[in-house]
Amino acid sequence: MNLVNISEPDKKKSNNILCLGIDFGTTNSVCSVKIDEKIIYIEDSKKKLIPSIVLFKNQKVYIGNQIKNSSISELIFSVKRFFTENPDQIIFDQGSNKKTAIDISKEIFSYIKNLSQDYLKQNIDDCVLTVPAYFDEKARSGIMRAAFLAGLNVRRLINEPTAAAFAYGLEKKKRGLFLVYDLGGGTFDVSILELKEGIFRVLGTGGNSKLGGDDLDILFAESILKKYFSVNLNEVDNDLKLKTIKKCKSIKEKLLNKKSVSEKIKLEEDEKQINIESQLLNQSIEKLIDKTIAIVENLLNECDVSISSVDGFILVGGSTRLEIVKEKLKNKFKINIFSELDPDLVVSCGAAMHGYELLNGSKNLLLDVTPLSLGIETMGGLMEKIIPRNSPIPAIREQIFTTNENGQTSIKIKILQGEREVTSANNILDEFVLSGLEPKPAGIPRIKVRFSLDVDGILFVSAIDESSGKENNLVIKTNEQLSIQEMRELVSSSIQNAKKDIDLRLLIETKIKATKLINEINNVKPMMNKLCTTKESKEITKIIKLMKIELKSDNKDKISNLIDDLNDKTKNFAQKIIDSNFSNFVGKEIDLLDKS
């Protein structure tokens, strides 16, 4: 099998189920598909790299290589970076046009889906999507949600270094113990994998989700301005700063195969023709590379793997083209370095191979781990780990909780992700309120909380009151996000029925909105009965009933109307909630019983 790119064949018919392999990158995205033993890259204006750039202009959306000659300040780039903060925050705000990181990524996914369909001349929904191994729960589910909203059916979420190793395992028949060093545009991952015949297994993963090629560009720009203009990059106004960084990025790329380049650099009125040597680049980014090396060493240590037993490094991500990266790794670890497969394309290629095997059957199995520990807050604000990092997935763990006050009828549970002892230093994923417990003396109720981490690395939490045995006795109040599972069900059921892409997308979004609303109202039902008149409650319940019936159909307009109705009818109630006192509803602290 060869990694060739077929130039526009007339027929793309295959006897196999097609599945896209999408690498949604900080700087560039890549999409490929395996058709009859060949990997084919979906091109955007004849280019395999699709810049992850979005432009909203004159009520239209432009993406990737469509964008030409536009001012840099208008462009939205590196949207992937926002996923590790909060994928739902608004990052583009132009009057009525407000977009979150998910909305913007959805546009990129739609674009990729359309490019693929144009090329394949058929509808395609199935994909395997890759994410940085070190991405946390919020970032993972955020990216998945964005893809679902674009009408893609994400069959599997896999880690980028794992995908790359899969490609090396199949394409280059590599066997043994390997370190995948993946330095992308915005993230750094390292994974240790054992590649055996038929089984590719991740032993451990480490990284930094906020360290990548973008940071190298900034450091390089800082050095150039300091050296040739005696200017501090942070003192330059934003537009010029972005332009300068972009310029330095292109110089960095030119220095990949040259010792020095002569470039004209303009800073406001000051224009200079300067000769830039690769040594300056190396000096300015050296510290960052050292940081990645320290992460590699920690991982080896943690997994009890000695470097002498490792068969080599596999390099992934555009930034690993830099000679200094290879040199530093070689000097430090003194083992083989492999980069035969294009480090920009290998992740998508591995995803496409994996997708093909998942849907068409295969003898190769991919076993991965969770990168970060998951747990809950215990008394005193400490984190109790329930699923430690580097546990193989899927993983199911249970923990028993009880009350610490007599007659307590609700318990609050904070779900955490991270490695620190103290809650506040970790990522708070969610807060649960289990209410409706029967009042009993402190320490008597037994609430079993189950953490279920699925094979995509997505977490589901459920709870059951063991003393009453009734699961539905509990009201679980989570944030307003629709779960991935619900979304997956909506998408796959809609895909089966829908005809046109655009209608499909709108329909999915409307359904998601409606389900979200029903969930919100269900979560506060006990309060509704307290705060609303019987007539109001009845009306709300009636609309919800109608909506549930309509959700089974594909009538977008009817669902939309019902959403408006429901919003209208609950306005009054929403105000009452705000006015009422929340504190008597939420339990104070939780106790933890050790599972004996």
Partner 1 sequence: MTSSKNCWSCDKRIGYKDFVCNACGVLQKPFELNPFDIFSIDKKFEIDAKNLEEKYLELQILLHPDKFMNASQEEKNFSNIHTSFVNNAFKVLRDDVSRIKILLEYFGYQITENESFQDVSVLEEIMELQNKSMSIESESEKNKIKSQLMDKIEKEIKTVSQLFNEKKYKDVYKSCIKLSYLQKINGNLK
Residues lying near partner 1 in the complex (CB under 8 A) are found at: 155-156, 196, 198-199, 201, 301-302, 358-359, 361, 365-367, 391-397, 452, 454-455, 594, 596
Query: Shortest distance, CB of residue 242 to partner 1, whole angstroms?
Result: 42
- Give the closest residue to 81 by CA, choosing from 156, 25, 129: 25
Query: Shortest distance, CB of residue 116 to partner 1, whole angstroms?
Result: 20
Dist CA 9 CA 28 (whole Å): 25
- Give the closest residue to 104 by CA, choosing from 126, 125, 89, 117: 89
Are β-strands 312-316 and 176-183 bridged in parallel, bridged antiparallel, or unpaired?
parallel
Nearer to partner 1, 360 or 555 (CB): 360
Query: Shortest distance, CB of residue 422 to partner 1, whole angstroms?
Result: 17
CB count, 10 Å around CB of 194? Answer: 17
Nearer to partner 1, 218 or 387 (CB): 387
Residue 362 near residue 197, CB atoms below 8 Å: no
466 CB burial (10 A radius; 0-12, 13-18, 19+): middle
Query: Shortest distance, CB of residue 565 to partner 1, whole angstroms?
Result: 33
SS3 assignment, position 538 = helix
Nearer to partner 1, 95 or 361 (CB): 361
Query: Shortest distance, CB of residue 375 to partner 1, whole angstroms?
Result: 16
Residue count of the chain: 596
> What is the crossing angle of helices 484-497 and 501-523, to 10°?
140
- Give the closest residue to 134 by CA, choosing from 173, 187, 177, 92: 187
SS3 assignment, position 349 = helix
Query: Shortest distance, CB of residue 391 to partner 1, whole angstroms?
Result: 7
Nearer to partner 1, 71 or 485 (CB): 485
Query: Shortest distance, CB of residue 349 to partner 1, whole angstroms?
Result: 18
Nearer to partner 1, 389 or 414 (CB): 389
Nearer to partner 1, 160 or 344 (CB): 160
Query: Shortest distance, CB of residue 467 to partner 1, whole angstroms?
Result: 21
Query: Shortest distance, CB of residue 594 to partner 1, whole angstroms?
Result: 7
Dist CA 48 CA 119 (whole Å): 13
522-550 per-residue burial string, b: 16 or more CB within 10 A, e: under 16: ebbeeebeebbeeebbebbeebbebbeeb
Dist CA 98 CA 565 (whole Å): 24
Give the sign of the dihedral formed by CA 415, CA 141, CA 520, CA 463: negative
Dist CA 157 CA 101 (whole Å): 19
- Tokens describing residue 417: 């992700």
Nearer to partner 1, 155 or 249 (CB): 155
Query: Shortest distance, CB of residue 280 to partner 1, whole angstroms?
Result: 34
SS3 assignment, position 60 = strand
Nearer to partner 1, 393 or 506 (CB): 393
Dist CA 368 CA 132 (whole Å): 13
Residue 112 near residue 33, CB atoms below 8 Å: no
Nearer to partner 1, 366 or 372 (CB): 366
Nearer to partner 1, 197 or 268 (CB): 197
Nearer to partner 1, 93 or 594 (CB): 594
Dist CA 342 CA 317 (whole Å): 9
Nearer to partner 1, 231 or 393 (CB): 393
Query: Shortest distance, CB of residue 357 to partner 1, whole angstroms?
Result: 8
C-alpha separations of 540 from 252, 520, 551, 576 in Å: 60, 12, 16, 15
The structure tokens 């690395």 sit at 457
Query: Shortest distance, CB of residue 374 to partner 1, whole angstroms?
Result: 13
Dist CA 122 CA 207 (whole Å): 38
Nearer to partner 1, 312 or 394 (CB): 394
Query: Shortest distance, CB of residue 222 to partner 1, whole angstroms?
Result: 34
Nearer to partner 1, 196 or 588 (CB): 196
Residue 21 near residue 350, CB atoms below 8 Å: yes
DSSP letter for 428, please: E
Query: Shortest distance, CB of residue 554 to partner 1, whole angstroms?
Result: 21
Nearer to partner 1, 170 or 251 (CB): 170
Provide the β-strand partners of residue 401: 447, 592
Dist CA 519 CA 516 (whole Å): 5
558 CB burial (10 A radius; 0-12, 13-18, 19+): middle
DSSP letter for 235, please: G
Query: Shortest distance, CB of residue 394 to partner 1, whole angstroms?
Result: 5
Dist CA 194 CA 334 (whole Å): 19
CA torsion angle 216 222 225 226 (round to 10): -130
Question: Which phi and psi (to 5°) does residue 20 adopt?
Answer: -75, 150
